Amino acid sequence: MCESISRRTLLQGAATSALAVTLGEETRAADLAPRAGEPGQLPMRELGKTGVRVPILGYGTAPLGLRRSLSEGIAILNEAIDRGVTYMDTAPRFMNYGQAQVMLGEVLNARRKKVFLVTKCFRSTYDETLQLLEQNLKELKTDHADLVYVHSLGDLDYETVIGPKGAFAALEKAREMGLTRFIGVSGHNRPRRFLEVLERFDIDVMMNVVNFVDQFTYNFENRVWPVAARKKVGLVGMKVFGGIKGTGAWLPAEHMPLAYRYAQSLPHITTAVIGMGTRDELLQNIAWAQALKPLTDAERAQMADLGRRLAAEWRDHLGPA
């Protein structure tokens, strides 16, 4: 398989659902306000049927691995853990994560029990998936992950992935072997595939693109997540601020606080994984998480209008549906 991930291909704009619909029925404020920990700590939520409580802010390590030296990355990761950001999402170098796993491996050497460790396998076959997972664990200097995703499902050889010698079978075996506590599926496009996976496999967690723009195109929020929630699958948001910088599908800074609250206001979401490459970005996202409050009707209307307009510009920037 090609060792580069194409995350942009996608479904012609299905801009058919409004933001109010995405948020579902009038969401109770109690559902939006997770129980806070000790003063100054991050709110926590339960990750579906795993029963594990994790912070509502997850650390996406790709920007750190790509943009920082090893020593800088280690320092920022340690501070993140000190401040309660203990959900760490990573992946191998060829998936555009740079040396993120190497950085984490140095941190985990002394702090493994404090971290909920998430890594990914972007492979279609059984053997390739197990081989990559073993490589990931070696780089991370640990004997197991807490969660491993079959990643970027929309871009893999789907029939192989779901087959008896595919990636899902491999992760089920890895779970049996104790190489991971939980297994999941993640991706950016082709929502229908995720619905099929929910019916075929006993997955624990699902991570998808959720932001107030792409909900008019991909709409994992309404098309997939309600089904996953009924099965008690833990739900994790990503690409909260859009796509990748430089593609044009990236929110201006002034819209980011509302974008963060949009994602965290979705019913059933546990955590939002955000890529953070600097200490300032870490502190800003922690502040937003600690100050989280429900969206007002006026804010929802504002975001719906802006989201529709931006969706027409971004189009299918993450790949086909």
> What global pTM score does this model have?
0.87
User: How much is the pLDDT for 305?
Assistant: 95
Please, what is the average pLDDT of the chain? 88
Question: What is the band of 252 on the pLDDT scale with cuts at 50, 70, 90?
Answer: confident
| Structure-block tokens of residue 59 | 């650390």
Question: What is the band of 85 on the pLDDT scale with cuts at 50, 70, 90?
Answer: very high
User: How much is the pLDDT for 249?
Assistant: 75
Cα(128)–Cα(167) distance, integer angstroms: 8
Give the mean pLDDT of 31-36: 41
The CATH classification number of 55-314 equals 3.20.20.100
Which is higher by pLDDT, 171 or 6? 171
Which is higher by pLDDT, 221 or 40? 221
pLDDT of 14 > 60? The answer is: no
Nearest to 191 by CA among 149, 158, 148: 158
Cα(235)–Cα(270) distance, integer angstroms: 6
Question: What is the band of 248 on the pLDDT scale with cuts at 50, 70, 90?
Answer: low
Cα(36)–Cα(122) distance, integer angstroms: 35
Q: What is the pLDDT of residues 169-221, one digit of tens each?
A: 999 999 999 999 999 999 999 999 999 999 999 999 999 999 999 999 999 99
Domain ranges of the chain: 55-314
pLDDT of 33 > 50? The answer is: no
